[in-house]
Structure 1
Amino acid sequence: MINENGGSYMHFTVKKALNILDCCKIVAGKRGLNSSIRSVSIMDSPDISWLKRGDLLLTTGYIFKDDSETQIKLIQDLAERDCAGLAIKVKRFLSTIPEPMIQEANRLGFPILEIPYERLLSDMLFAVTREILKSESIFNEQVRRRDFISRLLRGELANETAVLSQGHEYGILTGCEYVVLYIYENASKKRKSLSIDKSILFKAMNEVGNALHVKLIGEQLDDFVIIVQDYRINDMFHPVSEKARKAACMLVKSFAKHNEKKTISIGIGTRQSDVRDIHTSFQEAKEAVYLGCRVTSGGNGAIHEYTALEPEALLQHLPDRELNRYFTATVEKLIIYDEENGTELFQTLEIYLYCGGKLGDAARILFVHRNTVKFRIARIEELLGISLADGNVSFRLQLGMCASRLLGVSSRFAEPILDMLKEG
């Protein structure tokens, strides 16, 4: 389920005005149908110096009824001032909209609407003004909602009662566990904000929420953020962290299905049981995307969990010289050996340790025989002069691999292996 206020705000446009004023029709400038209407006025004077951006002008056409040059100049001036459009009442002073005006409006993409004779301009003025005020009210509510969620994610709301009281209006539930998903568009580094069609994400959120029986709240900030909420606290069989993982997978697949040209990556924060700590999960989800893109080879459409990247999150604060020193002392010899001999010892060790030292599981992921993994492990122990039966040794090697990834020497797993691990 998605919060009913979750849809993105759209300005009141000429196209929407036509739906309300169903008696009117557009006769020119259809390219400008999505122009925003910010105000509406009745035009009864040739002086348009008072007009401003977004104005919709209603007129009987008396002031320009006999002068084609004035008609063309009016359209040009209105378009230059970025007005929303011109609505002309016919069969009083003009039998039809003058052709010169239509041609110029089509050239400039400036909307001209035709108002039937029987409609009063004052009635239309009232109807459009009412819709503008309604749109502004919706917009102001969305601004308040975005501000609340933004402050919640920044950790600026410390009073739990106040957070839940105000948050209830925006879909924040009590007695829940919370996990934040941070959605990042895989695009140029030059981009400043998410440019993907957010309606696709909202549609996917509805499908995911209904399928997993969780409440999702989405908001567009610098990137898109989703708060996963689940009532079933301490559910060992279906914890909220597992549902968040499933939700992320479903969102990536759903987005890919509806948008082939763009992809997203998703960071997953840790589970929080206090609404005031949602900001912690948010920061973790954001860092997971950053670290995940840096140290894995998952590529576009990847999912990065903070819990799986905690060692990198700690080690990234060390100077590169310290990371280099530790890398050299632990696993560098394997990478050099692989490069010189065309072997895959480093990757084998990485998968073997990921599988908790289980030869069969590692062999299945690597698509090799169990004995092949056994032989490679023996060779690794020989090269490094260690025994993987020692837990401390395994731990040191895993940290060495984390250091290598942060240094850009290696990436965590290959793409097919990542897919296998997700399925497994």
Structure 2
Amino acid sequence: ISLRELLAMPALKGIRIIGGERGLDRRRVSSVTVIDAPDPYQWIQGGELVVTSGYIFRDEPLSIRRAVEKLNERESSGFGIKVQRYLQAVPPEVIALADDLEFPLLDIPFAFAFRDVIDPVLTSIVNRQARQIKFSEQVLSSFSTMVTRGASEEEICASLRKFAKCDLAFCDTTFGTFCFAAAEEFSHIVRNTPLPDLFRQFLSVKIAIGERVYGYLVFHRPPSVASDDDWFIPVSHARTALLLRLQKRLAHAETERRYRNEFVLDILNKNLRFEKELWNRAALLDWDIEGPRHVAVVDIDNYKRQFEDVAGRDALRNIEETKRRIYTIANTVIRSTFPRVPFTEMSDSVAYILPAPLGESAAVRDLQPVLKIIQEEVFGATGKSVTIGVGRVKPSVLQSSESYDEARRALEMIRSAQGPGRIAFWNRLGVNKLLFSLSDVAAAEDFCREMLSPLLDLDEIHRETLLKTLSALAECNWSVKESARLLSVHENTVKYRYKRVRELLDFNPDSSEDRLRMALALKILSLGISTSRSIKTK
């Protein structure tokens, strides 16, 4: 109980505060101790209201200063002195010290016996503790019942609001959701304010087990406002209830995730023996797999390379948490557009079997902006990039394995040719599909060496400059003017480089055969296939 509350009791009327008044609300009283010996401080344990007749200070009133310092160090709740018994007054220096320390200094009337202070204080404390025990049992019973019957986070928060008498929100960082027991104004603030800013504006409580944080309770009250036991007790029980609820959801989600992943992998790997099995398992998961389908694969760029330099469990945990955030973002965006689609999470990618009821062109048109949102949100939240491949539309989910193979090949091809963070639709890759199939053909290496070897043997700066110019010319139908615009250089610069290339490669741009051979060599080289890599890095 606070010292201010005690002093407001009728039984203690007459006790005056003469110093350290600012500590009346902060100092909590747990017991009362009488001192009249010169060395009592070693027995002070903290929380005591210490009272004295003043006898030990009668010869040296300034020694009260040392008593105040010692009692403050021992976290006593206050110091009451019967000033009129052996002292005429408390020295001003002592009162000033009590004010500085915010340590309550009390003047107990001469007529008060010690029991006149001790009895009402201890009675009040015991009664308060009894009420708290009864209140705690009531709160525990309420939340235990809720947990037993499987109450939701919303129900737990609504119950906590009644006990805590305060609007609140639960920010679930595990599943990325919010639960509110609050007016719309506070709900709007929580939804649209980053967590660090919320913590600065409002009182918050972490929901965690060890280092694993599951979320935060945010209360519509300033963080500096002191909270009493009537607030701490329900918050403590609600935190336990939320943790149990989240653990149950996580266990359920993990079981469903494993079952879902196995099922979708069976589809993508043609591991289903009976068509009826497919429809039954999809119905259990409430998935829509009717009609034409195609597969999109979201692949984390350079994910496995991170493990080459990983040091310690913290670094490993950070990598896995980043992957989980990427998967959560991708799943949220996809399911906001396609709410009932099958998907599976693999070591560094997620595959989705998406509906395409209007055919190939419409599927590409509708899916492209959704995939761009995934890339933008992933980069914004994690600083990482993802490459996305999409296979062709198939008439039935039973052919999803073919679309999946195309999606994987598409993302590998676009990443090799243009780098990470790209989107590739298999049906839009054109001749690149044919050229990419040459990745294991020795003839491709011989062809590239025959066409480009003199240029590739140059030093890195000249090689890259001339290759870039040659690629621009091929892309611009061998127009110097258009190539200069594409490269943002002067036409004379392109003419000079073009002449140098023709001399190096003995290339005749007037020959349609030479132009075709050169364009094919550049395409193969740009795809980054294994045969041409050995040439580029020679």
TM-score by length of 1: 0.54
Aligned to 2:324: 198
Other-structure match for 1:70: none
1:303-345 residue CA offsets vs partner (Å, 9 max, x unmatched): 45556452453122124xx444222211122334675857833
Query: Are residue 224 (structure 1) and residue 349 (structure 2) matched?
Result: yes
Match of 2:210 among 19, 32, 40: 32
The AA in structure 2 aligned to 1:274 is S
In the other structure, the counterpart of 1:69 is none
Whether 1:333 and 2:454 are equivalent positions in the alignment is: yes
Deviation per CA, 1:72-95: give whole Å up to 9, x if none: xxxxxxxxxxxxxxxxxxxxxxxx
| Code of the aligned partner of 1:226 | A
CA-CA distance at 1:256 after TM superposition: 0.7
For the Cα contact (< 8 Å) 1:327–1:400, is it kept in 2?
A: yes
* Counterpart Cα distance in 2 of 1:402 and 1:379: 21
- Residue 430 (structure 2) pairs with residue 314 (structure 1): no
Equivalents in 1 of 2:377, 2:512: separation in Å? Answer: 41
Instruction: Tell me, in whole angstroms, the C-alpha distance in 2 between the residues paired with 1:18 and 1:179.
Output: 34
Cα displacement string for residues 5-26 of structure 1 (whole angstroms, at most 9, x for unaligned residues): xxxxxxxx9xx9996597899x
Q: Which residue of 1 aligns with 2:270?
A: 155
Relative to 1, partners in 2 of residues 1:242 and 1:181: Cα closer, same or farther, differing over 3 Å?
A: farther
Counterpart check, 1:187 vs 2:271: no
User: What letter corresponds to residue 174 of structure 1 in structure 2?
Assistant: E
Distance 1:397 1:311, change over 3 A: farther
Cα–Cα, structure 1 residues 341 and 362, in superposed 2: closer, same or farther, change >3 Å? Answer: closer
The aligned counterpart of 1:298 is 419
**Are the equivalent residues in 1 in contact too, given 2:304–2:348 (CA < 8 A)?**
no
Shift in Å at residue 183 of structure 1? 1.4
> CA offset at residue 257 of structure 1?
1.0
State how far apart, in whole Å, the 2-side matches of 1:384 and 1:316 are: 24
> Is 2:484 the counterpart of 1:368?
no
Displacement of 1:149 in angstroms is 0.7
User: Is this contact kept in 2: 1:176–1:230, CA < 8 A?
Assistant: yes
CA shift, 1:278, in A, is: 1.9
Q: Residues of 1 paired with 2:246 and 2:340: CA distance?
A: 31
CA RMSD of aligned residues (A): 4.9
Q: Secondary structure at the match of 2:409?
A: helix
SS of the residue corresponding to residue 225 of structure 1 reads: strand
Query: Retained in 2: the 8 A contact 1:164–1:172?
Result: no
> Aligned with 2:359: secondary structure?
coil
How many residue pairs match? The answer is: 305
Please give the residue correspondences for 1:216-365 in structure 2 after superposition, counting only pairs within 5 Å: 217-227=342-352, 229-234=354-359, 236=361, 239-260=362-383, 262-293=384-415, 295-296=416-417, 298-299=419-420, 301-304=421-424, 306=426, 308=429, 309-319=432-442, 322-336=443-457, 344-357=465-478, 361-365=482-486
Matched to 1:198, the amino acid is R
CA contact (8 A) 1:185 1:265 kept: yes
Aligned to 1:63: none
Q: Could you tell me which amino acid in structure 1 is paired with residue 456 of structure 2?
A: I
Rounded Cα–Cα distance in structure 1 between residues aligned with 2:347 and 2:413? 18
Aligned equivalents of 1:217 and 1:361: distance in 2?
46
Q: Report the 3-state secondary structure (helix = DSSP H, G, I; strand = E; otherwise coil) of the residue aligned with 1:344.
A: helix
3-state SS of 2:389 partner? strand
Segments of 5+ residues of structure 2 without an aligned counterpart are 1-146, 165-204, 215-228, 230-234, 309-315
Which of 1 and 2 has greater Rg? Answer: 2
**Partners of 1:182 and 1:286 within 8 A in 2:** no
Alpha carbons 2:297, 2:407 under 8 Å: kept: yes
User: Do the aligned residues in 2 keep the contact of 1:150 with 1:221 (CA within 8 Å)?
Assistant: no
| Superposition deviation, residue 204 in structure 1 | 4.8
Q: Residue 244 of structure 1: CA displacement?
A: 4.0
User: Using the alignment, how far apart are the partners of 1:17 and 1:316 within structure 2?
Assistant: 57
- Per the TM alignment, residue 255 of structure 1 is displaced from its structure 2 partner at its CA by 0.7
CA shift for structure 1 position 366 = 1.3
Paired with 2:393 and 2:208, the residues of 1 have a C-alpha distance of 50
Q: Between Structure 1 and Structure 2, which shows a larger proportion of helix residues? A: 2
**Shift in Å, 1:114:** 7.5
Deviation at 1:167, TM superposition (A): 3.2
The answer to whether structure 1 residue 141 and structure 2 residue 264 are counterparts is no
Distance 1:209 1:371 in 2: 53
How far the C-alpha of 1:180 sits from its partner, in A, is: 1.8
Determine if contact 1:208/1:250 at 8 Å carries over to the other structure.
no
Deviations 1:350-384 (A, max 9, x none): 23333455656543331135675466546544543
Per the alignment, in what secondary structure is the counterpart of residue 394 of structure 2? coil
Structure possessing the higher relative contact order (Cα contacts under 8 Å, 6 or more residues apart) = 1
Percent identity, aligned pairs only, is 18
Q: Distance in 1 between matches of 2:519 and 2:499?
A: 17
The amino acid that maps onto 1:280 is E
Partner Cα separation in structure 1 for residue 257 and residue 250 of structure 2: 11
Q: CA deviation at 1:154?
A: 1.6
Give the corresponding residue for 1:40.
Answer: none
Q: Secondary structure at the match of 2:299?
A: strand
Over 3 Å counting, the alpha-carbon distance change for 1:360 and 1:139 in structure 2 is same
What is the rounded CA distance, in whole Å, between the counterparts of 2:445 and 2:347 in structure 1? 34
Separation (CA, whole Å) in 2 of partners of 1:213 and 1:138: 20
Deviation at 1:279, TM superposition (A): 1.8
Counterparts of 2:515 and 2:302, CA distance in 1: 34
Instruction: For 2:401 and 2:251, locate their aligned partners in 1 and report how far apart those are by CA, in whole Å.
Output: 30
Who is 1:173 aligned against?
Answer: 289
Alignment correspondent of 1:400: 521
Q: State the one-letter code of the partner of 2:263.
A: F
**SS in structure 2 at match of 1:155:** coil
**Aligned-pair distance for 1:232?**
4.3
Q: Quick one: structure 1 residues 170 and 246, their matched pair in 2 at CA, closer, same or farther if it must change by over 3 Å?
A: same
Q: 1:130 to 1:29 in 2, by over 3 A?
A: closer
